Amino acid sequence: MSETTPNRPITPILDRVKIPADMKRLSDSELRRLADELRAETISAVSETGGHLGAGLGVVELTVALHAVFDTPCDRLIWDVSHQSYPHKILTGRRDRIRTLRQKDGLSGFTKRSESPYDPFGTAHSSTSISAALGMAVARDLGGRGLEGESVGDCIAVIGDGAMSAGMAYEAMNNAGHLGKRLIVILNDNEMSIAPPVGAMSSYLSRLYAGAPFQEFKALAKGAVSFLPPPFQEGAKRAKDVFKHMTVGGTLFEELGFSYIGPIDGHDMDQLLSVLRLVHSRAGGPVLIHAITQKGKGYGPAEAASDKGHATAKFDVVSGTQAKAKSNAPSYTSVFSDSLVKLAEKDDKIVAVTAAMPDGTGLARFMDRYASRCFDVGIAEQHAVTFAAGLAAGGMKPFCAIYSTFLQRGYDQVVHDVAIQRLPVRFAIDRAGLVGADGATHAGSFDIGFMANLPGMVVMAAADEAELTRMVATAAAHDEGPIAFRFPRGEGVGVEIPAEAEPLEIGKGRIVQEGSRVAILSFGTRLSEVVKAAEALSARGVTPTIADARFAKPLDREMILRLAEDHEALITIEEGAVGGFGSHVAQLLSDEGVFDAGLKFRSMVLPDIFIDQASPADMYEIAGLSALHIEEKVLSVLGVEVIGKRA
C-alpha cells in the first residue's frame, strides 16, 4: 500500500517494487513513472536523514534502467564512490530502512558488501569501480563464483566524469582494453563532482557532447534493435561494427580498447533502455556508454545550489532550507583556512594544493583570494603530493591540504617524493580521527602512524583552534623538511584565537595542569575530554597532571621523561590507531630504561576494528576514548576500584 504520511510522497508503482526482479513486470511507461516516484522518495528520505542528495538525483533514470535491463545481483553493479547509491538502495530491498541512512546501526551512506548482496563491492573512495568490475569479469571467465558460491554475470561500473580523471580509472581502462573481456562502463557525465571537475579530461568530455547530435542519436537509439540488419544479429564481431558506426565521438576510449556509445541523454528513459538492452544482448568486449546527466535533477533547491546538493543536512522538502545546528565555535577547517589566508597575505611564496576538495579542505577562500597560487588538481592525490614536492623544489612553500583518509592514496609519493628528498611540503591533514556519518571509509585513523614513521617528518596535532593557528604558522616557517599537522572535522572548543599566531618550537609540548601520581599525555583534540575526566577525578581526590604533546615527531623527550620520573603512571591518548603517538612514546621510554624502574604505562588508541557510521560522540564511545573512559583508565591504573565498571 502506498505511503500516505504527510511528509512522504505517494508512490503506487514504487510500492510494488521490493527487489529489482519486480521491475521485470513493468512496462516502459511504468518504468518512467517509477523513476519519478523514486526521485520523490529519495528527496523525502534525505530530507529526514541528511546526506548526499544531488548525486543520487542525477542517476535516478539510470538506476531504474540498469535494474530493469540487467539481472542484479547476479549481474554485478558497482557505483563508483557511491554517493549516488541511495536510489539503488531503495530499489534493492532497503526502502524500509532508507530513513536510517548514515545513522548508528542504520544503512551506510555508501555501498557496502556486508549490507546487501546487491552491493557487490564497497566503494567510498573514487575511481575504483572499473578495476573492481574488471577483476570480477576476469574471475567470471576463469570459472570463479562469488564468495557465497553464486554465479557472476555481467559486470557494470558506473563512474562519474570527476572520478574518471583519476589515474586509477585510466589504469583500469588500459588493462580492460588489453584483456578484451566483456565489461560495461557507464560514464555518468554531469560536469559536477563535489567541485567542478578540472583538467584535460573534463575539457575532452565537454568537446564530445558540445555539438553532439542528440536528436539524431535519440531516433537511432529508440529503434536500435530493429535498426540491426538480420546479418548483423549474429555474432559479436558484427555487433562490434554496429557499435563503431553508432559512435559520435570517443577516440580516446576507442584507443584504449573500448567500444564507445554516446553521448546519450541520461534522463531519457527511452534512450537508456534501448541502448542498455542493445549492449546487454550484443556486447562482446569492453563497452563505454557516455550518459549526460544533471546532478540534483528534479529538485529545484539542489539544481540551484553551487554544489548541486552534493551534501546536505536535514532539510525542508518544500523550501530546501537546511536545519543545520548553530555553533558558537568556528570549525577547525575554517580556522585553518583563515590562518593560511592571513599568512599568504604576507608571504607570496605560500601556495596551496587540493585534490578536488577546495570546499571540504577550506581552500575555497584561498582560491578566491589567490587564484594563481591555489591548485585543484582533481581526484589525483598521488599527483597532488608530487606536484607539491615539485613546488617545494622550485622554491615555493606548498600547503598540501588532503583529508587523512584520502592522503592514504598518496602515501608512496609522501615517502619517495617528499620525505626521502627532505622537501618542505606542508601537509594539512583534515578529517583526522572519527568523522561520524561517513563511517569507516572516511575516518582518519592511520595518518599518525604512517607519517610519524618517516625519517625527518614533523607531525603535529592541534588540541584546539588556537593551537591549530600556531601549527599553521609553524608549518609556514619550517623549511628544513616535510611537516604535517592534523585536525578533526567539526567545530572547535570555543577558545580564543590569537590575532597573530606565533610559531611553535619544534618538538616542544606544554603542561596544561600540574598534578600528582598519574600524568595524562594527550595528542590532539581528545585534550578537552581529558580535562573533563580530570574534573570528575578531582571529586575522588585524584588530580592528574595533564600535558599536551603537540608533536608526535619529534617527541618532547625532556617533558615525557620528566612526566615518567615524577609520576607512578603515564597514560597517552590519541585519535588514531595503534602504532602512532603512544607507540613512539613507549619506544622512547623503553630505550631510556624507564620501564625498568616500574613505571605504569597505558596507551589509549582507536580499537582494532573499523567503526561504522554514527555520531562522532557515539563513535568515540564505541572506541573507548570518551571522558568517562579516560576517568576509568586513570582509576584502573592507580588500582582504584571503579564502581559500576563497564563490561
> What angle, 0 to 180 degrees and rounded to 10, lies between the N-to-C axes of helices 28-49 and 60-69?
130
Q: Look at phi and psi of residue 578 and say left if phi exceeds 0, alpha if psi is from -120 to 50, else beta.
A: beta
What's at 523, amino acid-wise?
F
Q: Is 83 annotated as a binding residue?
A: yes
Q: Is 299 annotated as a binding residue?
A: yes
Q: Is 161 annotated as a binding residue?
A: yes
Active-site residues, by number, are 295, 381, 409
Q: Which helix (H) or strand (E) covers residue 549, if one does?
A: none
What's at 485, amino acid-wise?
F
Distance CA 77, CA 445 (A): 29
Q: Is 381 annotated as a binding residue?
A: yes
Q: Is 190 annotated as a binding residue?
A: yes
Distance CA 203, CA 296 (A): 22
The residue among 406, 431, 442 whose CA lies nearest residue 166 is 406
Which residue is listed with cell 538502495? 89
Q: Look at phi and psi of residue 570 and say left if phi exceeds 0, alpha if psi is from -120 to 50, else beta.
A: beta
Q: What are phi and psi of 357, to 5 degrees?
A: -130, 55
Q: Is 332 annotated as a binding residue?
A: no
Helix, strand, coil percent values for the chain (each to nearest 5): 45, 15, 40
What burial class does residue 25 get, using C-beta atoms within 10 Å of its C-beta: 0-12 exposed, 13-18 middle, 19+ buried? Answer: exposed
User: Exposure pattern of 316-353 as b/e (b: 16+ CB <10 Å)?
Assistant: ebeebeeeeeeeebebbbebbbbbbbbbbeeeeebbbb
End-to-end CA distance of the chain, in Å? 44
Q: Is 126 annotated as a binding residue?
A: yes
Q: Is 163 annotated as a binding residue?
A: yes
Give CA separation, 291 vs 39, 52, 354, in Å.
18, 20, 28
Known binding positions: 83, 124-126, 161-163, 190, 299, 381
Known binding positions for Mg(2+): 161, 190
Known binding positions for thiamine diphosphate: 83, 124-126, 162-163, 190, 299, 381
